[in-house]
Amino acid sequence: MKTISISVSEDDYEAFRAHAKRSDRSIAELVREAMRLYREQRLQRLERMERLPLFGQNHPLGPLPDRAEIYDEIGSRPW
């Protein structure tokens, strides 16, 4: 395990201190859990998204229809 030092606001510290006391856990344990959850829910999700392939480098994959073609297609649909 790696030891780190962080600075937190008084409000955050008091909230964690109070919750740690109520739940009979240490503040360090709560911070480790918060970091693990953040990593699982945010960082790993971002890493997965970064691995998604880019198709066409944000360019259309083919010619786009003009306005008349779009209206013709919409008008020909059976609603």
Note down the domain range covering 31: 8-55
Residue-wise pLDDT for 19-29, tens only, equals 999 999 999 99
* Separation of first and last alpha carbons in the chain: 62
Alpha carbon distance 33, 56 (integer Å): 40
Asked if residues 30 and 20 have their Cβ atoms less than 8 Å apart, the reply is: yes
Asked whether residue 72 is domain-assigned, the answer is no
Count of the separate structural domains present in the chain: 1
- Residue 9 tokens read as 């606001």
Of 43, 12, 11, 46, nearest in space to 30 by CA: 12
Asked whether residue 78 is domain-assigned, the answer is no
Residue-wise pLDDT for 27-78, tens only, equals 999 999 999 998 888 777 766 666 666 665 666 667 888 888 888 888 887 7
Asked whether residue 74 is domain-assigned, the answer is no
Residue type, 52: L
